[in-house]
Amino acid sequence: MSQRPIIGVVPLVDYKLESLWMLPGYFDAVAEAGGVPVMLPLTADAEALSRALDVVDGVVVGGGQDVAPALYGERGADAAALCGELCPERDAMEALLVPELVARDVPTLGICRGIQVANAVLGGTLWQDLPRQRPSAVEHHGKPPYDQPVHSVEVLARTPLAACVGAGELAVNSYHHQALRDMAPGLEVMAAAADGVVEAVWRPASRFFWAVQWHPEFAHKVDEPSRKIFSALVAAARA
C-alpha cells in the first residue's frame, strides 16, 4: 500500500482573535480523499518555507482576505479603495510560495483567494470588486448555508476539470467579490460563469496546478464534484 500523501494547507488569519486557524472542511476533505492534512507555517522566511515544502506532497492555498493590489501592479494611496480586509502576512508568504510550488512542480489546489493570489503572483490582475467594477446578473457572493449552489459554471471540454467532474454545466457554491481580470501567462481557463467571470484555471506545464473560485471545502460532504476535486489533488500528490 502506498503511503498517504501529506497535504500542506495555508493557514487562515484572524486579526481580532490574534490567531491562525483552519476551517474543518479543508482538513476533512483532504483526509476523506486519502491525504494527511497539515497546516503550513505563516511565514515569509524563504528558508523556512522551503523546508516546510520538503515534507509535503501537495498544497492547498485556500480562502481568506482580499489580495493586496500591489501584488498585481496597482499601487498608490487609493489602490485598495475597493478591497475589504487585507492580509499582508499571507500576501508576503504566497508571493514566495506560489513560484516555489511552480518551480518544484508540487501538486497544488487553489480555492477562492487561492485562484486570485496565484493569478496575481504569476503575472495576472484582479477585479477588486465585481459589483462595482463588473456588475452582472450572476450572484457570486452567496449566503449561508455555504454548501449550497449559488450559480452554475460551464466546465470547458478537453480540460482536466472536465475529465474529473464532466464537461458542461456545474452548479457551484460561491462566496467572493474579487475575481480574475487579466489571466496570468501560463494559466488556462477550465470553467467560467455565465457572465464570463473565470471560475477555474490550470497550468498545463505543471503536473497538477488547479485553482477554483468556488468552495469545494464547504460542499464536499454533500457534493460529489467537490469530493472529486480533492481526490484529484491527493492522487496527484500520491503519484
Q: Is 112 a catalytic residue?
A: yes
Note the pLDDT of residue 78.
Answer: 85
Tell me how far apart the 2 most distant CA atoms of the chain are, in Å.
Answer: 56
Known active-site residue 215 = yes
- pLDDT score recorded for residue 2: 66
pLDDT of residue 1: 45
Please answer whether residues 190 and 156 qualify as being in contact, where contact means their C-beta atoms are separated by less than 8 angstroms: yes
Annotated active-site residue in 140, 151, 176, 215: 215
Catalytic position from the list 83, 112, 140, 220? 112
- Classified by CATH at the fold level, domain 6-238 comes out as Rossmann fold (3.40.50)
Q: From first to last of its 239 residues, what are the pLDDT tens digits of the chain? A: 469 999 999 999 999 999 999 999 999 999 999 999 999 999 999 999 999 999 999 999 999 999 999 999 999 878 899 999 999 999 999 999 999 999 999 999 999 999 999 999 999 999 999 999 999 999 999 999 999 999 999 999 999 999 999 999 999 999 999 999 999 999 999 999 999 999 999 999 999 999 999 999 999 999 999 999 999 999 999 99
Which pLDDT score is estimated for 12?
97
pLDDT at residue 87, rounded to an integer: 98
Give tens-digit pLDDT for 76-119: 878 899 999 999 999 999 999 999 999 999 999 999 999 999 99
Name the catalytic one among 94, 140, 199, 217. Answer: 217
Sequence ranges of the domains in the chain: 6-238
How far does Cα 222 stand from its chain's mean position?
20
Give the start-end residues of each E strand in the chain.
6-9, 12-14, 19-21, 36-39, 58-61, 108-111, 126-127, 151-155, 168-172, 179-180, 188-193, 198-202, 209-212
The pLDDT assigned to 228 comes to 98
- To the query of whether residue 164 is one of the catalytic residues in this protein, the response is no
